[in-house]
Structure 1
Amino acid sequence: MNGLLAQRAKTIKLAIFDVDGVMTDGRLYFLADGSEFKTFNTLDGHGIKMLIASGVLTAIISGRTTPAVERRANNLGIQHVYQGREDKLAVLEELLAELGLDYSQVAYLGDDLPDLPVIRRVGLGMAVANAHSFVRQHAHGVTSARGGEGAVREFCELILDAQGNLEAAQAAYL
């Protein structure tokens, strides 16, 4: 693991995820009736569950609003969900005030320009492998996996490992 990323991940108390392009592959699917559906990766979901079990708080901040995101967040136990909020930095500041945390205790995983202000402000700001090149350039780190294809799991395990909780999380299944 990259030593600088591990150092940044060691103090994380809140992990925040974008949705489209991070928890999903970024494609939008619309049915003939106008409804929308999304596909999520189960490996990513279990990474979030392990992170929550280790005591790290979780949140979603998405510029779009869809019932699928609310349902997925509920299924995984994600504590804080903000949809339809394009000013993600403003949401972050609200969340920090509510939780009594500071920027250095937050990790964020994003993929596009609206994520960049948060990525640059938090203690651990990362981009998925297929994020926009400008975002990758300004992130603290980039996952090897693409959005919707294991990037969330990689991000969660980076935090778990840095905090000394990954082995115990995995050993629980032996």
Structure 2
Amino acid sequence: MSEDLLQRAKAVKLAVFDVDGVLTDGKLYFLPDGSEFKTFNTLDGHGIKMLIQSGVLTAIITGRNSPVVERRARNLGIQHLFQSREDKLEALDELLAQLGLERHQVAYLGDDLPDLPAIRRVGLGMAVASADPFVREHAHGVTRARGGEGAAREFCELILRAQGHLQAAQSAYL
């Protein structure tokens, strides 16, 4: 864990997640009736819950629209959900104006080119290990885990560690 990433994570008040390729493995599953389903990692979900409990706001910004994502966000307690938003930086700026926050107070986890404008302009912009190589190259950091396989948990724990909340979050289960 680099000192630069820890310093960036200290200022985070809002953590933003992409969905496909970040909270999922990036595969799209369609049933014969045309409906879709996604698989989510429970470790990632608990990381997000710990982050929320520590006082960090959370959001999802995704280019697709899915009732499954809405349900997952609601189940985890994610406060802000933006679906069908191809321009993710524009959606982020709308949210920041609503919350009265600045970009340096944001951590963003993404995996593909539509995430890159936000990744490059926030205080802590990270890519998952399975992200597009160009995105990984321009992110502040890259998780060890792949999207849908614990990358979001790693991202959440980085923020919790930097802000001095990780040990307390873990100790609650002892």
Normalising by structure 1, what TM-score? 1.00
Q: Which amino acid aligns with 1:73?
A: A
Quote the residue 2:101 is aligned against.
101
Alignment of 1:49-88 (within 5 A): 49-88=49-88
**What is the SS of the residue equivalent to 1:55?**
coil
State the distance in 2 between where 1:2 and 1:67 align.
Answer: 37
- Structure 1 stretches of at least 4 aligned residues deviating more than 4 Å after TM superposition: none
Quote how far apart the aligned CAs of 1:153 are.
0.1
CA deviations over 1:47-101 (Å, ceiling 9, x no partner): 0000000000000000000000000000000000000010001001100100000
Quote how far apart the aligned CAs of 1:107 are.
0.2
**What is the SS of the residue equivalent to 1:12?**
coil
Quote how far apart the aligned CAs of 1:2 are.
1.0
Q: Which amino acid aligns with 1:165?
A: H
Quote the residue 1:157 is aligned against.
157
Q: Which amino acid aligns with 2:169?
A: A
Quote the residue 2:167 is aligned against.
167
**What is the SS of the residue equivalent to 1:20?**
coil
Alignment of 1:15-54 (within 5 A): 15-54=15-54
CA deviations over 1:28-63 (Å, ceiling 9, x no partner): 000000000000000000000000000000000000
Provide the aligned length of Structure 1 versus Structure 2: 174
Q: Which amino acid aligns with 1:130?
A: S
CA deviations over 1:111-170 (Å, ceiling 9, x no partner): 000000000000000000010000000000000000000000000000000000000000
**What is the SS of the residue equivalent to 2:114?**
helix
State the distance in 2 between where 1:100 and 1:137 align.
Answer: 30
Quote the residue 2:121 is aligned against.
121
Note the residue ranges of structure 1 that are not aligned, 5 or more in a row.
none
Q: Which amino acid aligns with 1:66?
A: S
Q: Which amino acid aligns with 2:87?
A: D
Q: Which amino acid aligns with 2:171?
A: A
**What is the SS of the residue equivalent to 1:148?**
coil
Q: Which amino acid aligns with 1:132?
A: D
Normalising by structure 2, what TM-score? 1.00
Q: Which amino acid aligns with 1:14?
A: L
**What is the SS of the residue equivalent to 1:16?**
strand
Q: Which amino acid aligns with 1:5?
A: L
Q: Which amino acid aligns with 2:93?
A: E
Q: Which amino acid aligns with 2:42?
A: T
Say yes or no: does 1:11 pair with 2:1: no
State the distance in 2 between where 1:68 and 1:46 align.
Answer: 18
